[in-house]
Amino acid sequence: MGRKGSATIGPIVERTIQKAVARVVRRERAVHTLSVDSEVDPERAVHRLRVAVRKLRAMLSAFGPYLDRGFSGPLRRRLSELSDVLAAVRDLDVQLAALDRETTASAAFAMEVAPFLDSLRHRRADAVRRLEEHVATPEHAALIADLQVDRVPVRDGEVRARRALRRRLRKDWRRSRDRIAAAHTGSGSLHEVRKSVKRLRYLAELATDPLGRPAKRLATQARRTQDLLGAHQDATVLDGLVRTYVAETGGAPGTTFALGQLVGRAHERRGRIEQDWPHRRDRLRHRAEQLLG
């Protein structure tokens, strides 16, 4: 590829997409055999495939101008469908793991919230069934066929890598900045901020070699922002799950009281995160402006 300053974007796009595609294919195999292979850890397999799909979708979107739309368009649509069924399982895995930690300290508390935990496990079983049904569909088979590529069709790949990556990062930062502003005014959410910052992080990680330490610092701040807002989203989801459960079942008095305690602790976590958010937001903005001006 020559010197960093003279490297072009085409080889970077092709190499990045090929690696991301190969990662999805490898991790899809484990999920595809969940119902027949007892050696597969289902929670780990779903998580690893979800991350791989998410990264590939982010790269296809970020490098859209340098990819043939006949290749990237159908792939993005089918990956979105797979991502939805994976998310339904993974989100419940996250909640169940957190609740298991919350209930280890008190056997009495664990007993009171057991009906709620059982309802989440039933929901997870349904989500796993839908995932298994999805990976057996012709649409999913078409996705796997689309991923079996010898080369990635790149177009307009002669643009200098530094220029191209800076341009894409600037666009992603503007999107994140707009969502931050929307969350501040109440017209958007921190969850939407988190999703845009996640994509910014992936691209900044990729840009570390051509753009150097400022890109690495931006990637680090984006990861920290993503982690903080992820904890906020987990608390928000728990609140919603509890409210839905109580509305649907009524809940025994002891269970309802214990769930109220869970929601109260979730609100406290959200409050602490919202206090930390302005500092994290400003650090992210500082790193973005250092790199992008």
Measured CA to CA in angstroms, residue 3 lies from 6, 17, 156 at distances of 5, 22, 20
The pLDDT of 112-139, averaged and rounded, is 94
Across 88-116, average pLDDT: 91
| pLDDT for position 157 | 87
What pLDDT sits at residue 129? 93
CB 161 within 8 Å of CB 89: no
Cβ atoms 48, 20 nearer than 8 A: no
Which helix (H) or strand (E) segment holds residue 253: the answer is helix 253-292
Q: Distance between CA 80 and CA 146 in Å, rounded?
A: 14
SS3 of 276, please? helix
The DSSP 8-state label assigned to residue 138 in this structure reads: H
* Average of per-residue pLDDT values in the chain: 92
Is-contact 86 55, C-beta < 8 A? no
62's tokens = 């970020």
pLDDT, tens only, 177-196: 999 999 999 999 999 999 99
Question: How confident is residue 156, by pLDDT bands cut at 50, 70 and 90?
Answer: confident
Q: Is residue 250 predicted with pLDDT exceeding 90?
A: no
Residue-wise pLDDT for 267-288, tens only, equals 999 999 999 999 999 999 999 9
Q: For 103-113, what is the mean pLDDT?
A: 88
Confidence of residue 36 (pLDDT cuts 50, 70, 90): low
d(CA 235, CA 190): 12
